[in-house]
A = this chain, B = another copy of it.
Amino acid sequence: MTQASLFAGLSAFPLTPANASGKVETDALQTLVARGVAAGVDSICVMGSTGIYAYLTRAERRRAIDAAVSVAGSTPILAGIGALRSDEAIALARDAQEAGARGLLLAPMSYTPLTQDEVFEHFQSVASATNLPLCIYNNPSTTHFQFSLPLLRRLADIPTIVALKNPEPAQGSIAEELALLRTNLAAPFTLGYSGDWCAARALLAGADSWFSVVAGLFPVPALAMARAAQAGETDRVMQIDAQFAPLWALFKDFASLRVIYAAANLLALTDAQPPRPILPVPQEHTARLKAAIAPLVDWTAPWKTA
């Protein structure tokens, strides 16, 4: 496996179950990781945005990686190492390497708005702190930072920076964006998408990866869609995507983080709630949520008896 291909295919992003004080519930996390491993996802990334990296202490983040690695077998564990301070992100990168993570995911988390040069130096210092491959986590809705194309080119020249996780483009098609990025970022460089509702389009347009929140909870149907896309089975992709559609609608209404916690609660996989101030999906939407996950639960029926 090349460094870049570590981030290719379906990467599952489970939530990180934690109690109200931010202590990670490692048993519940391991259950989620084991579901992904058994389904055969290509990698599992702990502490993405849904994995509440921004809300956990360094010690708890280390505990979460340790717990995930211990049940992952040969499935690569990736770890989100975003932090407001560069020294903290560097420490988190080293922790992740020590804990056995195989790759890093770095978002340009900000409070004071950052310049392009500041984000370059931040990524350079963090990417140089370990020899693990690193994926740029581009998520302006949470980081409020916009990567320019020149910045991406500079970052892609850093040896350990090998992948980009993009959101659905605000303008233009995913195919157009991929063509632009492939022209500008020297191969091998893995280009993938998050925002589960655009995954079918992204994969069919030739994206290398789907960085998936839903695969953190429903890895079997997510993997079925990813594999159908990799095989070029457009009709099959669209059929599976249609089964996810009611969930995508909920993601757009309440944000995927709130919805996936509520779904995990309904499946009795954890009773963890999002960290306050983030509130759960209001109770009156439970029937809608149950209906949205019903086809996915049936699909993963083997897990119900596991």
A residues whose Cβ falls under 8 Å from a Cβ of B: 20-22, 49, 54-55, 84-87, 108-109, 111-115, 117-119, 121-122, 125, 141-142, 144, 255, 257, 274-279
Q: In the complex the two chains form, is A112's CB within 8 Å of B49's CB?
A: yes
Q: In the complex the two chains form, is A255's CB within 8 Å of B111's CB?
A: no
Q: In the complex the two chains form, is B142's CB within 8 Å of A278's CB?
A: no
What separation, in Å, do the CA atoms of A144 and B113 have in the docked complex?
10
- Closest approach, in angstroms, between the C-beta of A277 and any C-beta of chain B? 4
Residue in B21, B108, B121, B274 whose CB lies within 8 Å of A279: B121
Chain B positions within 8 Å of A112 at CB level: 49, 54, 142, 255, 257, 274, 278
Chain B positions within 8 Å of A119 at CB level: 277
Chain B positions within 8 Å of A22 at CB level: 85, 87
Chain B positions within 8 Å of A118 at CB level: 277-279
Minimum CB distance partner of A22 in chain B: B85
Copies of this chain in its oligomeric complex = 2
Residue in B54, B121, B141, B144 whose CB lies within 8 Å of A84: B54
- Closest approach, in angstroms, between the C-beta of A166 and any C-beta of chain B? 18
Q: In the complex the two chains form, is B125's CB within 8 Å of A276's CB?
A: yes
Minimum CB distance partner of A126 in chain B: B277
Q: In the complex the two chains form, is B87's CB within 8 Å of A122's CB?
A: no
What are 19 A-B pairs with beta-carbon distances under 8 A?
A20-B87, A22-B85, A49-B111, A49-B112, A54-B111, A55-B85, A55-B111, A84-B275, A85-B277, A108-B277, A112-B274, A113-B142, A117-B279, A118-B277, A118-B278, A121-B276, A121-B279, A122-B277, A125-B276
The 10 A-B residue pairs whose C-beta atoms are closest, nearest first, are A122-B277, A54-B111, A86-B276, A118-B277, A86-B277, A118-B279, A111-B142, A144-B144, A85-B275, A112-B278
What separation, in Å, do the CA atoms of A113 and B68 have in the docked complex?
27
Chain B positions within 8 Å of A85 at CB level: 22, 55, 275-277
Residue in B49, B87, B111, B277 whose CB lies within 8 Å of A21: B87
Chain B positions within 8 Å of A87 at CB level: 20-22, 276
- Closest approach, in angstroms, between the C-beta of A158 and any C-beta of chain B? 15
Chain B positions within 8 Å of A55 at CB level: 84-85, 111
Q: In the complex the two chains form, is A276's CB within 8 Å of B141's CB?
A: no
What separation, in Å, do the CA atoms of A174 and B278 have in the docked complex?
32
Chain B positions within 8 Å of A277 at CB level: 85-86, 108, 114, 118-119, 121-122
Chain B positions within 8 Å of A278 at CB level: 112, 114, 118
Minimum CB distance partner of A21 in chain B: B87
Chain B positions within 8 Å of A275 at CB level: 84-86
Chain B positions within 8 Å of A142 at CB level: 111-113
What separation, in Å, do the CA atoms of A270 and B235 have in the docked complex?
65
